């Protein structure tokens, strides 16, 4: 009993250290919890949290041991005594996939929805659509195209050097296999979210906190853009203008189209 209590205290201490060390992750996570509750209901939001985390964790655990699906890479346990790690994987890393998946899915719904009608629930058919699945997965993977190169350079900002590759990849040090893996995992996570949305019954727990109000459909996409802006800001802040401008020009055509679509008559 004493040993179990000590283990629990140690885990809680490391979890608190994770929050202190990675506050930006938990700010985005808190935004997910609020926005997804308004959008989907508290039950679906809370169920997706552990399921999405487990999906991402299994993919990362497999990759650091077998190379599938992201390609072979390794984590550097420099902060293992200061933040929570699970079986060789930083807790915050797998946790991040949850809000990335939700934000990407929300943006996909906005792109495929009914123009400027931001306050209406999405048609049920859209939540079952493979078009939404694929677009959200591509958007999530594209976000990683910006995130991973700056994360690889974490030793130059407050992230720290948390991972590396046996051999440098062709895209600013990132192997292309990483992005193929992200697309696969994104497809699985987004489809899982869609199943939770469409298959779980209506009810007090599942729908608690759900709201439809003017502009609600813009909030998830704004979370996506906030994540993008944070990572682009870090990219320029560490003195990588080439990498930063590549990220901007990757998104410029899409964001231009989206603004024109949403502001058009």
Query: Rounded CA gap, 127 and 36, in Å?
Result: 14
Pairing of strands 85-86, 89-90: antiparallel
pLDDT score at 124: 84
Instruction: List b or e across 11-33, with b for residues whose CB sees 16 or more CB atoms inside 10 angstroms.
Output: eeebeeebeebbeebeebbebbb
Query: What does the pLDDT average to over 209-230?
Result: 93
Lowest mean pLDDT among 134-143, 153-162, 227-236, 240-249: 153-162
* 15/208: higher pLDDT: 208
What's the pLDDT band for 119 if we cut at 50, 70, 90?
low
Tell me the pLDDT tens digit for each residue of 36-88.
Answer: 999 999 999 999 999 999 999 999 999 999 999 999 999 999 888 889 999 99
Which DSSP state fits 162?
-
Please report which confidence band the pLDDT of residue 187 belongs to, taking 50, 70 and 90 as the band edges.
Answer: very high
Q: What's the pLDDT tens digit per position in 91-108?
A: 999 999 999 999 999 999
Tell me the pTM: 0.94
Backbone angles phi, psi at 146, to 5 degrees: -85, -40
Reply yes or no on whether the pLDDT at 118 is more than 70. Answer: no
Three-state DSSP state, 71: coil
C-alpha 195/C-alpha 186 separation (Å) is 14
122 or 216, higher pLDDT: 216
Question: How much is the pLDDT for 5?
Answer: 67
Q: Is the pLDDT of residue 199 over 70?
A: yes
Q: What is the mean pLDDT of the chain?
A: 92
- Provide the β-strand partners of residue 173: 169
């Amino acid at each position: 009993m004493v040993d179990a209590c000590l283990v629990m205290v140690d885990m809680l201490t490391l979890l608190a250290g994770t929050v202190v060390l990675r506050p930006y992750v938990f700010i985005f996570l808190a935004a997910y919890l609020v926005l997804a509750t308004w959008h989907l209901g508290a039950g679906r939001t809370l169920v997706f949290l552990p399921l999405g985390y487990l999906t991402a964790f299994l993919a990362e655990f497999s990759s650091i041991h077998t190379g599938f699906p992201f390609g072979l890479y390794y984590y550097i346990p420099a902060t293992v005594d200061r933040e929570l790690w699970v079986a060789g994987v930083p807790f915050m890393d797998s946790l991040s996939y949850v809000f990335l998946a939700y934000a990407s899915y929300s943006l996909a719904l906005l792109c495929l929805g009914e123009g400027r009608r931001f306050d209406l629930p999405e048609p049920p058919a859209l939540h079952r659509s493979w078009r939404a699945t694929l677009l959200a997965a591509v958007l999530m993977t594209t976000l990683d195209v910006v995130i991973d190169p700056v994360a690889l350079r974490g030793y130059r900002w407050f992230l720290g050097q948390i991972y590396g590759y046996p051999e440098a990849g062709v895209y600013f040090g990132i192997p292309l296999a990483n992005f193929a893996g992200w697309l696969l995992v994104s497809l699985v996570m987004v489809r899982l979210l869609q199943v939770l949305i469409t298959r779980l019954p209506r009810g007090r727990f599942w729908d608690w906190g759900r709201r439809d109000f003017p502009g609600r459909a813009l909030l998830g996409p704004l979370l996506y853009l906030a994540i993008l802006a944070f990572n682009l800001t870090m990219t320029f802040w560490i003195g990588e203008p080439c990498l930063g401008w590549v990220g901007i020009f990757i998104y410029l055509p899409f964001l231009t189209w989206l603004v024109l679509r949403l502001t058009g008559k």
